[in-house]
Structure 1
Amino acid sequence: MDSNGESDFTSYWFDEPERSEWIKGMKIEALERREHSLEQLKRQNIYTPLWLSVIDTEFEVTMPSVREICGRAGALLVVALYSECLLAEGMSIKEASDFIANIRKDFQVDQYLSLREFDYLNNSAPTKTEQIHFSWQYENLLMMEWALGFVEELPEADRICDVPFVVRIMNQFSSLADMIEKSQLRDTKELLDYADFIFRLDWACTDARLDQLPAPNHMDPEVVMERHKSIFWITGCSHESDWDLVDVST
């Protein structure tokens, strides 16, 4: 630092030694997955500690079926579209409900709605906060589409998703059965790799927020958190099949 308080120093990386108790009992697969995530994050100058837990292995997880993932995608589409109708289009509750009616039927959405989603769609006076919350479900829908093989590559989590693109993907399908038939679920290893990565990235975003600092590498913390929720539900890492109860703590 010079006499004016300026410096060319831009970043500092702390390579902490790993303690044996941190990895005691951990599976080799989980440790290798963690190491891969740490390498990815380090390339982006994003620090996460070695003491963070590892996620479950392929042998340990129980994933939802393709049908359940497609059903969840349909539910997410409906609540997000409904919110968009209310927030962006200024529709009445009845107009918004009528707009999503055919999609709700074609994708058998009522079978897959969570309790909170069902209550929201049947609330005659949803709050603005509720509408905004459910409008974020396009982010989760993108994750379902990616897991099912309809999106080749996920964009960086530094901005909200391309909503028209996400909706166009769903418009390809005439029904839930059509979507199921065309799905090609990604390999479990690939899904778990991303789950481990986003879990650590979410920790970094949360840590920055608690320290009143900007999110690392210009990430959007809300996008990161929604992806964390989705991938943990898809992989079964949350140990909770109820969408409303998925744990995204870090």
Structure 2
Amino acid sequence: MRIFNFLKNNNPQRLKTAEQRKIETEKLLKSLNIPFINHLPQIEEENEAKIRKPQEIAERALILTYLSYISEVPEEKENVIDFLKSHTLWDKVSPDEKQLFQKEKLTNQEMINISWRSEAIWILLWTINKVERIELPIEQVEIEEIISKLPDFLEDPKEFIDSSIIRPTSEILDFSDLTYRLHWATRNSDLDGKEMPTNLNSSIAFERHYAINWITFYADEWDEITTDT
């Protein structure tokens, strides 16, 4: 189910309060028969929110994509690292990611964790207007869809980065609030051993929550992001 219309602010001049945002999200969840709790806190107020620069988000999407690529094609590792260094992206790679890029052989769990990051990449691309629509966290994004939004392999990423435009803060916070409460719903189902509401995927919800919390500065560094619910 598409949630794009919910995230599209029809009146960008109106500053929505955190409480209004929470009420609207809960109304949507109720209409979708997705459980929520009233006492789950609000997210930040719109006039206090900090949002990453679109160029920084574009760079992060590229880094995660190339990490995913070398996990599948390890023989390209040196070429990819050289590419990242030549385009001033290597300094933006997190400490944990540098270890993965440079590791001789990734474990199966590390490869699985990296592959799930495709869901975070999709959200990063949405926030910089490279992806138009977001759906509920049910179906995994296809890697071909991600690749179609990015420069060709080892192609100069300057135009891609420079052309990135951030979505309105209100839309990003609407998505953040919704993702926060969807992640709670999946965690609650896991803890209670209940069937997942509306077939929500807890791993997709987690990756989306991680990405949007980075975009909205829940911590300064990628490796330090938390996804509390």
Which residue does the alignment assign to 2:8? none
| Cα drift, residue 99 of structure 1 | 5.8
Task: Measure, in 1, the Cα distance between the counterparts of 2:195 and 2:88.
Answer: 41
Structure 2 length normalisation: TM-score? 0.87
Letter in 1 for 2:147: V
Which residue does the alignment assign to 2:58? 70
Alignment pair present for 1:190 and 2:148: no
Which residue does the alignment assign to 2:10? none
Query: Which segments of 5 or more consecutive residues in structure 1 lack a partner in the other structure?
Result: 1-26, 86-92
What do the CA deviations read for 1:116-135 (whole angstroms, capped 9, x no partner)?
Answer: 10111111132111111111
The question of whether the paired residues in 2 share the 8 Å contact of 1:146 and 1:152 is answered with yes
Letter in 1 for 2:19: L
The question of whether the paired residues in 1 share the 8 Å contact of 2:210 and 2:227 is answered with yes
Letter in 1 for 2:29: L
The question of whether the paired residues in 1 share the 8 Å contact of 2:214 and 2:220 is answered with yes
Which residue does the alignment assign to 2:19? 31
The question of whether the paired residues in 1 share the 8 Å contact of 2:36 and 2:185 is answered with yes
Alignment pair present for 1:244 and 2:214: no
| Cα drift, residue 180 of structure 1 | 2.4
The question of whether the paired residues in 1 share the 8 Å contact of 2:16 and 2:170 is answered with no
| Cα drift, residue 149 of structure 1 | 0.2
Alignment pair present for 1:225 and 2:206: yes
| Cα drift, residue 171 of structure 1 | 2.4
What do the CA deviations read for 1:136-158 (whole angstroms, capped 9, x no partner)?
Answer: 11111111110000111013210
Q: How many residues align?
A: 214
- Larger displacement relative to structure 2 (143-152 or 129-138): 129-138
Shift in alpha-carbon separation, 1:102–1:161, aligned structure 2, 3 A: farther
| Cα drift, residue 178 of structure 1 | 1.0
Alignment pair present for 1:180 and 2:161: yes
Give the alignment's Cα RMSD to 1 decimal: 2.0
Task: Measure, in 2, the Cα distance between the counterparts of 1:168 and 1:98.
Answer: 24
**Pairwise mapping of residues 70-219 of structure 1 onto structure 2 (< 5 A)?**
70-85=58-73, 93=74, 95-98=75-78, 100-101=80-81, 103-105=83-85, 107-171=87-151, 174-219=155-200
Structure 1 length normalisation: TM-score? 0.80
| Cα drift, residue 175 of structure 1 | 3.0
Task: Measure, in 2, the Cα distance between the counterparts of 1:107 and 1:161.
Answer: 27
The question of whether the paired residues in 1 share the 8 Å contact of 2:81 and 2:90 is answered with no
Bigger Cα Rg: 1
Higher relative contact order (CA 8 A, sep 6+): 2
The 3-state SS of whatever aligns with 2:149 is helix
Alignment pair present for 1:56 and 2:44: yes
Query: Which segments of 5 or more consecutive residues in structure 2 lack a partner in the other structure?
Result: 1-14
Which residue does the alignment assign to 1:5? none
